[in-house]
């Protein structure tokens, strides 16, 4: 079945440093979604990428979808302590009723 | 802003007991999901539900699990005879449709299930 791998598992940064997490799918995706989960919280939708090579920005966050629609990345510029949490990518296959296959997540800690 | 709600927030049960987890999806959404997250692990798909029937389920969703939409608002997950390994956070999610702008799944706050 479809597998989504995400690296790194953990990332510790100093406030102001940049952060990137990478996601790879074993199969071509119809779209990829990114979620943020705060400790003890639930996944909160950040963004959806649909088109091959798509790049979207949300303030300090930049999301990319690979040309082959099998990989994606999330880059945060100049991290802040409010960025802490686990960032998950979730792939949507083309033939399902919306089943999301989540990556393992990257736990981001930001030291002030 | 509309949101998905879940009750209870926490449930403690004895092994072998039945539990029912409840969800109220966003009112104009048509697709409903249950996911679970074992502590410290990734979110795993359990089941999707559309048009009053299961549309897809994972290998985790065995005969001990069932889902129901008993009325126009509630969506429930029943675990018939709980096992220790069912301890996890269970998330309900819903989405509006299948066109690209309707694909966003909105997650509820979760029910933390502990099986003793």
- pLDDT tens digit sequence for A37-72: 998 888 999 999 999 999 999 999 999 999 999 999
At A92, the pLDDT band (50, 70, 90 cuts) reads confident
pLDDT at residue A94 greater than cutoff 70: no
Measure B7 CA to nearest chain A CA, in Å: 14
| Closest chain A residue to B106, measured at CA | A45
- pLDDT tens digit sequence for B11-54: 999 999 999 999 999 998 999 999 999 998 899 999 999 989 99
pLDDT at residue A95 greater than cutoff 70: no
What residues in A contact B43, CB-CB < 8 Å?
A: 43, 88, 90, 100, 102
**What are the angstrom distances between the C-alpha of A25 and each of A68, A90, B47, B108?**
10, 9, 21, 26
State how far the Cα of A56 lies from the Cα of A6, in Å rounded to an integer: 19
**Among residues B40, B72, B80, which one has the least CA distance to residue A39?**
B40
Query: Helix (H, G, I), strand (E, B), or coil: what is residue B29?
Result: coil
The DSSP annotation for A42-109 comes to --EEEEEE-STT-EEEETTEEEEE-TTSSEEEEEESS--GGG-EEEEEEEE-SSSSS-EEE---EEEE
Mark yes or no for CB contact A99/B95 under 8 Å: no
CA A45 to chain CA centroid, Å, is 10
Taking a contact as any Cβ pair under 8 Å apart, which residues of chain A between 39 and 98 contact chain B?
Answer: 41-45, 48, 50, 88, 90, 92, 96-98
Taking a contact as any Cβ pair under 8 Å apart, which residues of chain B between 46 and 65 contact chain A?
Answer: 48, 50, 55-56, 58
Mark yes or no for CB contact B100/A41 under 8 Å: no
Mark yes or no for CB contact A105/B95 under 8 Å: no
Predicted local distance difference test score (pLDDT) of residue B2: 81
| Closest chain B residue to A103, measured at CA | B42
Q: Is the CB of residue B5 less than 8 Å away from at least one CB of chain A?
A: no
């Amino acid at each position: 079945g479809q597998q989504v791998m995400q690296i790194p598992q953990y990332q510790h940064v100093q406030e102001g440093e940049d952060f990137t997490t990478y996601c790879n799918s074993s199969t071509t995706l119809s779209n990829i979604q990114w979620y943020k989960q705060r400790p003890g919280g639930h996944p909160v939708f950040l963004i959806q990428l649909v088109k091959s090579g798509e790049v979207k920005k949300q303030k300090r966050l930049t999301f990319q979808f690979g040309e082959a629609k099998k990989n994606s990345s999330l880059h945060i510029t100049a991290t802040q302590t409010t960025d802490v949490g686990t960032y998950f990518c979730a792939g949507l296959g083309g033939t399902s009723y919306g089943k999301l296959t989540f990556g393992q997540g990257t736990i981001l800690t930001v030291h002030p | 802003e509309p949101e998905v709600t879940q009750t209870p927030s926490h449930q403690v049960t004895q092994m072998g007991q039945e539990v029912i987890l409840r969800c109220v999806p966003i009112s104009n959404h048509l697709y409903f999901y249950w996911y679970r997250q074992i502590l410290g692990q990734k979110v795993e798909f359990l089941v999707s539900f559309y048009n009053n029937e299961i549309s897809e389920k994972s290998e985790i969703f065995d005969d001990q699990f069932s889902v129901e939409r008993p009325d126009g608002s509630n969506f429930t997950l029943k675990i018939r005879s709980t096992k220790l390994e069912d301890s996890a956070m269970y998330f309900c999610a819903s989405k509006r449709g299948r066109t690209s702008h309707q694909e966003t799944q909105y997650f509820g706050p979760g029910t933390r299930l502990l099986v003793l």
